[in-house]
Amino acid sequence: MQKVTILCVGKLKEKFYTEAAAEYVKRLGRFCKIEITELSEERLPDDPSPAQIEAALAKEGDAIKAKLPPSAMIIAMCVEGKTMSSEALAALMAQGANQGQSHLVFLIGGSFGLHPSVKSLAAVRLSMSPMTFPHHLARVMLLEQIYRGYQINTGSRYHK
């Protein structure tokens, strides 16, 4: 069974996000071993300077890198990444499994994204859309797309 880890900066606080995420985690249990690891988001002032943002991203990046498992396929969620269809994501997930990548790790940064040193470790940089979404909503959207990917790969009608 494939293992999927979502490493994310920030904790879900709103009940509607936690309930939605929990529902997809429950559904995914049939297809993979799913793990979500929440890392602390660095606190910044209301109007942070570029240097403060860089320092926060670097610190968050170090925390992410410390949690990366060896030999996993790393997929960084970032706005400048490649957009792909649900079918293409399903194919990427299946390709990883077929090539012996039994562990997929998706990275979601905090409010200011991911540090470049983290993005450079990713086999794939993936963007959900050129639109901006709260990173908490991105987690729920990613969980749904992973679930959809497994459904596509099993030929389920869920995707229709």
Confidence of residue 126 (pLDDT cuts 50, 70, 90): very high
The residue with greater pLDDT, 102 or 104, is 104
- Compute CA distances 113 → 34, 43, 61, 127, 154, whole Å: 22, 14, 10, 12, 33
Distance from C-alpha of 127 to C-alpha of 80, rounded to nearest angstrom: 6
Q: Where do the domains of the chain lie?
A: 2-154
pLDDT digits (tens, 9 = 90+) for 45-98: 999 999 999 999 999 999 999 999 988 999 999 989 999 999 999 999 998 666
What is d(CA 32, CA 15) in angstroms, rounded to the nearest whole number? 25
Helix (H, G, I), strand (E, B) or coil at 149: helix
Nearest to 150 by CA among 33, 45, 22: 33
Q: Which pLDDT tens digit goes with each residue over 22-38?
A: 999 999 999 999 999 99
CATH topology of domain 2-154: Alpha/beta knot (3.40.1280)
- In the DSSP assignment, the letter for residue 89 is H
